């Protein structure tokens, strides 16, 4: 279902689709971005923030590739960019928390842990800070190392 046209001030303008933005066809996204309806733009922004790489975000990108620069184009491009940067920062922070947990669980020091997974200590420190994220294969290696040392620590007799 595409938005119907309604008359306002003598010129046809797209009426907003009542379904969630995520279900709109690209033509409806295009019509919404070409309208002057701030409330519809806000609905699109909310959908982009919910899923920065989802269907609506991809549709907005597609529309912006062919649109002439107008006010909302720059704003929507900024929303896409900032939302994705925010998502990436949150994901890096989440990976850093997980790396911290693996390190703590292993009982090893940072230098020893880094050495045993085969990365320089400086690079491992970047993972802990969340400035960079390790490859998936390295996360698996860290998990295995943490598991192995955690089990070894659990098997040690407790000293009085």
Those residues of the chain that have pLDDT short of 50 are 1-14
**Overall domain count for the chain:** 2
Q: Let me know whether 142 and 96 are in one domain.
A: yes
Same domain? For 125 and 94 the reply is yes
Q: What is the pLDDT of residue 121?
A: 97
In the structure encoding, which two tokens stand for residue 20, read together?
């969630």
Q: What are phi and psi of 127, to 5 degrees?
A: -65, -40
**The two structure tokens encoding residue 137:** 């294969």
pLDDT for the residue numbered 10? 41
Q: Is there a single domain that holds both residue 63 and residue 94? A: no
Percent of the chain with pLDDT over 90: 73
Residues 99 and 47 in one domain: no
pLDDT at 87: 96
Is 83 inside any structural domain? no
Q: What are phi and psi for residue 132, nearest 5 degrees?
A: -140, 160
What is the tens place of the pLDDT at every residue in 91-132? 999 999 999 999 999 999 999 999 999 999 999 999 999 999
CA pair distance 1, 124, nearest whole angstrom? 51
The answer to whether residue 84 sits within a structural domain is no
């Amino acid at each position: 279902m595409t938005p119907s046209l309604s008359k306002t001030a003598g010129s046809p303008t797209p009426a907003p689709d009542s379904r969630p933005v995520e279900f709109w066809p690209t033509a409806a996204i295009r019509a919404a971005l070409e309208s002057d309806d701030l409330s519809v733009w806000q609905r699109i922004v909310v959908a982009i923030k919910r899923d920065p790489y989802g269907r609506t975000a991809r549709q907005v990108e597609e529309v912006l590739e062919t649109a002439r620069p107008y006010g909302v184009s720059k704003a929507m491009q900024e929303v896409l960019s900032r939302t994705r940067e925010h998502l990436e920062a949150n994901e890096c922070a989440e990976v850093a928390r997980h790396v911290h947990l693996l390190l703590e669980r292993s009982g090893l020091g940072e230098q020893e842990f880094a050495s045993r997974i085969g990365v320089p200590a400086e690079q491992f420190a970047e993972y802990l800070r969340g400035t960079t994220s390790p490859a998936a294969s390295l996360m698996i290696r860290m998990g295995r190392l943490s598991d192995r040392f955690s089990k070894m620590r659990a098997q040690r007799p407790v000293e009085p």
